[in-house]
Amino acid sequence: MRNIRTRTFLFLFALAAAFCPTFAEDCQDLTALRLPHTTITLAEAVPAGGLTLPAPALPMGPPVDYQSLPAFCRVAATSRPTSDSDINFEVWMPLENWNGKFEGTGNGVWLGAIIYPALAEGLRRGYAVANTDTGHVGGPADASWALGHPEKVIDFGYRAVHETTVQGKAIVTAFYGKSPAHAYWNGCSSGGKQGLKEAQRFPEDYDGIVAGAPANYWIHLLAATVWVGLQAQKDPASYIPQQKFAAIHKAALDACDALDGIKDGVIDDPRKCHFDPKVLECKGADGPDCLTAVQVETARKAYGPATTPSGIQFFPGLEPGSELAWGFMLGGHEPNRIGTDYFTYILHQDPHWNPRTLDFDKEVAEADKLDQGTINAIDPDLRKFKAQGGKLIMYHGWADALIVPQNSVNYYESVVKVMGGARNTEDFFRLFMAPGMGHCFGGEGPCNFDALSVLEQWVEHGKAPDSIIASHSTAGHVDRTRPLCVYPRVARYKGTGSTDEAVNFTCSLPN
């Protein structure tokens, strides 16, 4: 009898395995999945710690321990919605403990490559996670791929992310046999711009969006990088050596650190800081701790708004407190290529165009007209996103020297105006400004926080965030925590307890 029962059990087990294949087997079967204008090029089950990345991989962000990843189904696909489109993307899906959700992740500057660290982080959190190369292959400062390829510019501007989202969700549904319960976007810089573009153009794609330090006013941002660079390189004497950035930073802190009532090495709201770099003007010979008269003028222009010769201000200036990272804007002997490549390969379509001939009055306006919202993501009308229940968290570091933080404030306030006031905006869109934080991460202020978990609580449980707790670490040790408050509120010290502990602060409107 026992042998009969054993044989019966083994037969039923084999039968179940035949008709209910494991996720690993299901993964390999995805190569046969049929999707609109999309081909699955790879579908493989990757064992825990068994990921081998293709070469060359162009990761962005901090180093990632790929050997610690759980087992997952890795799918690579190519979408060709037009004859000149070649949108590559990947979707990584946990073989166990899927959280039931989909996460789209962002890119950086002009980069045409899959961002594997973003995929790894989403997978580790239990998400089915996707990322795209935005429809081309190229480095972060290279837009030469756009020459003669207007469809690829559209792919980069918005279509690649939307295609990855739609087809990615279909792959996830086919693999697990059910649709994701929620979809989230998580990106910073260009990824923040991509998130805003999704909310503006495809409001049904995501339930929640984290948009960090968004490069959403793309054309004006890139024009400003050229403008600032030209001020610094107007002539050799105008150039500020990077060795002097620390002295400028210290002088800015000396002037404005204590404006919030606490001297902690961070400028709380640099808009209240009226620092004039003339205090550093050399009294005698030039030296590493002072600025020559022409260098003072270069620094003043860096802090000021980018302005056309006719006096039109087209992008905000750098903020006091950002000086340690000025190398991006002011650190070369030529204007930054990230900025010039737009005008070279998209506006002028001339590889030999000279950036020093840029007519800021004429050509910035021409670029806006040409773009018509393809790359720019500045539409303030988010009513459709709000109507379908979407939630949006935007954050920006006040010490960001790559994308100036006032840009995010300007966009948020434009949405408030369209939505009919702050109350009608805060119920779906909240902005958090981070004192002392650099571009997307790092800086002297608390800059480590989990906006995605906060967003999940808002979307899934209706818990709108009044603050986000951020921390700062030195050598791996947390040495400060501080609340990031919903703009325009700021963190105010209660007057007792350590100023390095968030519990001793409250969020209130500025004085």
Does a structural domain hold residue 485?
no
| Structure tokens belonging to residue 37 | 């204008």
Q: Is 28 within a domain?
A: yes
Structure tokens at 135: 């429809």
Residue linked to tokens 């002037």: 255
Do residues 137 and 259 both lie within one domain? no
Q: Which of 324, 349, 371 is the last residue of a domain?
A: 371
**Cα 426–Cα 420–Cα 511 angle in degrees, nearest 5:** 60
The DSSP line for 55-74 is SS----SS---GGGPPPEEE
Report whether 490 contacts 434 (CB < 8 A). no
Residues 50 and 148 in one domain: yes
126 vs 119: CA distance, rounded Å: 11
> Where a domain ends, among 132, 156, 180?
180
172, containing H or E segment: helix 160-176
Whether residue 471 lies in the annotated active site: no
Q: Which of 124, 152, 180 is the last residue of a domain?
A: 180
Answer whether residue 400 is part of any domain: no
AA letter at 493: Y
Considering the domain architecture, whether residues 169 and 28 belong to the same structural domain is answered as yes
Q: Are residues 147 and 289 in the same domain?
A: no
Question: Are residues 130 and 258 both part of a single domain?
Answer: no
Is residue 201 in some structural domain?
Answer: no
| Active-site residue identified among 79, 85, 189, 467 | 189
The verdict on residue 6 lying in a domain is: no
- Whether 26 and 172 share a structural domain: yes
Looking at the 3D structure of the chain, how many domains does it have? 2
Complete DSSP assignment for 240-282? --GGGHHHHHHHHHHHHGGGGS--SS--S-GGG----GGGGB-
Let me know whether 300 and 168 are in one domain. Answer: no
Q: Which of the residues 149, 220, 249, 439 is marked catalytic?
A: 439
- Clarify whether residues 225 and 93 are in a common domain: no
Residues 288 and 154 occupy one common structural domain: no
Residue 189 a catalytic site member: yes
Is the residue at 106 inside a domain?
yes
The token pair that represents 342 in the structure block: 């737009």
129: β partners: 92, 103
Which of 139, 157, 146 minimizes the C-alpha distance to 347? Answer: 146
Within the chain, what is the greatest distance between any pair of CA atoms?
Answer: 104
Listed in sequence order, the DSSP H helices in 321-381 are: 327-330, 337-342, 360-371
Q: Does 275 lie in the same domain as 131?
A: no
The domain in which residue 244 lies consists of 220-371
- Residue 199's nearest CA partner among 73, 67, 381 is 381
pTM attached to this predicted model: 0.93
Catalytic residue check, 368? no
Would 459 be classed as within a structural domain? Answer: no
- Catalytic annotation, pick one of 149, 264, 400, 472: 400
Instruction: Give, for all 511 residues of the chain, the pLDDT tens digit.
Output: 444 444 433 333 333 333 334 566 789 999 999 999 999 999 999 999 999 886 655 555 567 888 999 999 999 999 999 999 999 999 999 999 999 999 999 999 999 999 999 999 999 999 999 999 999 999 999 999 999 999 999 999 999 999 999 999 999 999 999 999 999 999 999 999 999 999 999 999 999 999 999 999 999 999 999 999 887 777 888 899 999 999 999 999 999 999 999 999 999 999 999 999 999 999 999 999 999 999 999 999 999 999 999 999 999 999 999 999 999 888 766 778 899 999 999 999 999 999 999 999 999 999 999 999 999 999 999 999 999 999 999 999 999 999 999 999 999 999 999 999 999 999 999 999 999 999 999 999 999 999 999 999 999 999 999 999 999 999 999 999 999 999 999 999 999 999 999 999 999 999 8
pLDDT at residue 199, as a whole number? 98
| 489 neighbors 508 (Cβ within 8 angstroms) | yes
